[in-house]
Structure 1
Amino acid sequence: MADYNTLARPYAKAAFEYALSEGKLAEWSTMLGLVAEAASNKEVTAFLLNPSLNSDAKAELLLEICQAKIDDQSRNFIKLLSEKSRLPLIPVIAGMYEAFKAEQEKSVEALVTSAFELETEQQQLLVDALRKRLNREVTLKVEIDKRLIGGVVIRTGDLVIDGSIRGKIAKLAESLKS
């Protein structure tokens, strides 16, 4: 079977292009996030993977769960995914959509893992430095991991900046082995 990313990409791209052309990037982002969350539920996933149910029943379940955030175009998109047996891909489609949206908006979310709670000023310094380095608007998501000993690890996309004490010790140990 083809890779989920390969299967999901054309649908994510089509959703993004439609939302962009209609000026509804935020609305589609919310809708896809909601539908992806619903589709990730264990019971809903089992329902969507049930081969004895037809595509209409599967689509209707998702549409009923998410009816508050579904407009006619979104409804048609969900039905199309169902007809093509792509409903289990919705979480992947939503993730790709968010990546297309972030690229369009020149924004990125950075996950900062720190050994200690970061003060507001420290977070702002990180945002400013990352904004300058990445040439994008940056949103921080901060997590605490005492195992780092000190410092931070920053992850955004495929960029990882390891400024932790733990990382430096590991590099030192690796260089001593050589």
Structure 2
Amino acid sequence: MSELTTIARPYAKAAFDFAVEQAATDKSAVEKWTEMLNFAAEVVKDDAMKELLTSSLSANKLADTVISICGEQLNQYGQNLIRLMAENKRLTVLPAVLSEFQSYVEEHQATAEVDVVSAQPLSEAQRKKIITAMEKRLARKVKLNCSTDSTLIAGAIIRTDDFVIDGSSRGQLNRLASELQL
């Protein structure tokens, strides 16, 4: 996976820098780039497309095929990125480019996505309390993604890129069992 990240990073950085530059005149440029990359990444994830990308077609044919499938979803700059990646035989890493691009966007916007899995749906007060605590801990704005899992018994698991806080009853029971076995 780290190899894909290494390959994807320069493309994502270039696209992000260009999007930020465009944002001076078009406030939605970063969002447009996110949408373009997301759509193109979904196209190359398709099984039939994966076969095509690993075939012996020329770079121009591959780029034209991806661009024609994406249609109006790609502007001229998005098409240029597809052509460049096709020339370098890197179209298969588009999903990783999207992931890296989103990381740059989050860093630029100083936001972090935090996943909260709880045994019961969270109340608005609980959500606000988690957001406040995580913003303080991460020193940035937090976007909360909440879901429920009845197997947790009680409590919640909070995840972000850097760490996990397991405050679930299941997690506490597992830690207790590990301690007792020592």
TM-score between the two structures when normalised by the length of structure 1 = 0.92
Q: Which residues of structure 1 form unaligned runs of 5+?
A: none
Q: How far off its partner does 1:162 sit?
A: 0.8
Is 1:146 the counterpart of 2:150 in the alignment? yes
- Matched residue SS, 1:80: helix
Q: CA deviation at 1:137?
A: 1.5
Structure 1 partner of 2:47: 42
Q: Does 1:164 align with 2:168?
A: yes
State the partner residue of 1:123: 127
Which segment drifts farther, 63-72 or 92-101?
63-72
Amino acid at match of 2:8: A
Q: Which moved more, 1:81-90 or 1:57-66?
A: 57-66
RMSD: 1.5
Aligned-residue identity in percent: 35
| Distance in structure 1 (CA, Å) of the matches to 2:65 and 2:152 | 44
Shift of 1:134: 1.2
Greater Cα shift, 80-89 or 129-138:
129-138
Q: Look up the match of 1:66.
A: 70
Aligned length: 176
1:122 CA drift (Å): 2.0
- Please tell me whether residue 83 in structure 1 is matched to residue 87 in structure 2: yes
Q: Which consecutive unaligned segments of at least 5 residues does structure 2 have?
A: 24-28
Matches of 1:69 and 1:122 in 2, distance apart? 39
Q: Deviations over 1:112-135 (max 9, x none)?
A: 111122223322222222122212
Aligned-partner SS, 1:10: helix
Match of 2:58 among 45, 51, 54: 54
Local SS of the residue matching 2:154: coil
> How many Å separate the matches in 1 of 2:62 and 2:149?
40
The residue aligned with 1:25 is 30
Give the counterpart of 2:141 among 130, 137, 141. Answer: 137
Runs of 4+ off more than 4 Å: none
Q: Which residue of 2 aligns with 1:97?
A: 101
In structure 2, distance between residues paired with 1:43 and 1:119: 44
